[in-house]
Amino acid sequence: MNSPKLRRWIDLLAALLRRNYAVTLEELTREVPAYGTGAQKPALRRMFERDKDELRAFGVPIQTAALDDGNEIGYRLERKNFYLPYLSVIREGRRSDPRLVDHFGYRALAKLAFEPDELDAVVQAAGRVMRLGDPVLAAHVRSALRKLAFDLPVDAMALAEPERVSDSAAGPAQAPPEIFAVLDDALHRRKRVTLEYHAMGTDATTARELLPYGLFFLGHHWYLAAREAEDGPVKNFRLNRIVRASVNPRNPNSVDYTIPADFRLRDHARSRQSWELGGGSVLEAIVAFPGTSGPAKAAQRLGEPVAGSSDRRRFMVRRPDAFARWLQSFGGELVPVAPAELVALCDDLARRTLDVYQAAG
């Protein structure tokens, strides 16, 4: 084992796992050789905090707790939260159990029993998750399947792995993992990020400097919620349109911005309308509702009231092309009123649609 950090991590985990109670840093120092090398207390504390944060980032749930007197802080790692449970397979009514159980507490771990058809369901579910197109989730699924490989069907990985089809007409590929890594780092350290973004509306790739607010998944795609200026609106940028991204390298130990206390990513990402997504500027659209069908009334509720016009609604649109297609789907029951460019776009779309049907008939 050549890595001092890896050796230190293993010693720390061993010291925490052998106890059923919280332990102070002073006690850990006696069992982790690297902590007892004569380092000054401030340096030792910084080393321990870095180790703890990095292990937590890997998913190790190290807990911090006040000790009995309330004057000291202790640390603990519960075995049931650290080790994977034993897996048993039920065949012909009999359950298989692990053959070897040592005396270090593994006997207390939970057990999960699966019927063969339930294991098949696990594989099918893994395949569905991988088909979502999120490279981070896909990596986690592959890791989980490798861990379960002894009990899963021998071809589990092949069954779960989605087919890879090369089709230039299918649109841009899913965002590569390195884009997620850059944005995750920027969000964690609150740093500006510079990216090259391909806008579908203009079909151009431009450089953008953004203040990242969060990542969310919606409609089969990942989006970055971010501002282009301190006082600008929060826009959405689709990750698979980001060509390159980099984090501001200046002043790495200080934040570049703060996220307002009243911003809620869940609320921001709650929209389910395609015309509200994207990084374009907001277009205020006014729509008349001459139709009285159920779908038209439901669509009316999506807009905001317009003062003095009970049959009109206001919509905030980032993608006029998607909004025009949505209006057309109502067959004249929703009519665009303003602005003029939206009306012209809808008229042009209607003419082109009519040409397609006339050519076919």
Topology given in CATH for the domain delimited by 177-263: SH3 type barrels. (2.30.30)
Strand, coil or helix: 97: coil
Alpha-carbon distances, residue 125 vs 120, 161, 349 (angstroms): 9, 11, 40
The whole-number pLDDT of residue 201 equals 58
What is the full DSSP assignment across 115-171?
-HHHHHHHHHHHHHHHTT--HHHHHHHHHHHHHTTTTS-TTHHHHHSPP----GGG-
Q: What are the boundaries of each domain within the chain?
A: 4-81, 86-160, 177-263, 283-360
Q: Answer for the pair 208, 228: CB distance below 8 angstroms, yes or no.
A: yes
- Return d(Cα 303, Cα 291) in angstroms, integer: 15
pLDDT in tens, the chain (361 residues): 467 888 888 888 888 888 888 888 888 888 888 887 666 788 888 888 888 888 888 788 888 887 766 667 888 888 777 776 666 666 666 766 655 555 554 555 566 666 666 777 777 788 777 777 666 677 777 777 776 665 555 455 555 555 443 333 334 456 778 888 899 889 989 999 999 887 765 667 888 899 999 988 775 678 888 988 777 788 888 888 888 899 999 888 888 898 888 888 887 776 556 677 665 677 889 999 888 787 788 888 888 888 888 889 989 887 888 888 888 888 888 899 888 988 998 888 888 888 877 776 5
Alpha helices in 18-63 (DSSP H): 25-29, 41-57
Topology given in CATH for the domain delimited by 4-81: Arc Repressor Mutant, subunit A (1.10.10)
What is the full DSSP assignment across 214-237?
EEEEETTEEEEEEESSTTSPPEEE
Does the pTM surpass 0.85? The reply is no
Q: Answer for the pair 59, 77: CB distance below 8 angstroms, yes or no.
A: no
- Return d(Cα 253, Cα 247) in angstroms, integer: 13
Question: What is the 8-class DSSP label of residue 282?
Answer: P
The encoded tokens of residue 346 equal 């809808």
For 256-272, how does the pLDDT look when each residue is reduced to its tens digit (9 = 90+)? 898 888 888 887 776 55
The whole-number pLDDT of residue 330 equals 82
The encoded tokens of residue 21 equal 């109670």
As to burial, measured by CB atoms within 10 angstroms (0-12 exposed, 13-18 middle, 19+ buried), residue 130 is buried
C-alpha radius of gyration, the chain, whole number: 28
The encoded tokens of residue 148 equal 């379960």
